[in-house]
A and B are shown apart, each in its own frame.
Chain A
């Protein structure tokens, strides 16, 4: 337990990097791209 606590920053960092690659493999960046290239009507205040 102490070992896990001591190395928590590294565990969190490498989990985040792993999660990032999983997300890319799942094609999530495509979904973000398709969302971000269209004007968000809620942001403008008309939808």
Chain B
């Protein structure tokens, strides 16, 4: 018989990390698009 886990998977933390990664993509991407929209200088 498997020993009972002392703690549960931190599901809320996983959700927050996913949001964090999406934020990284969105904000970095928005900076990148701003750069492109300004065109070559």
- Whether A and B are associated in the same complex: the answer reads no
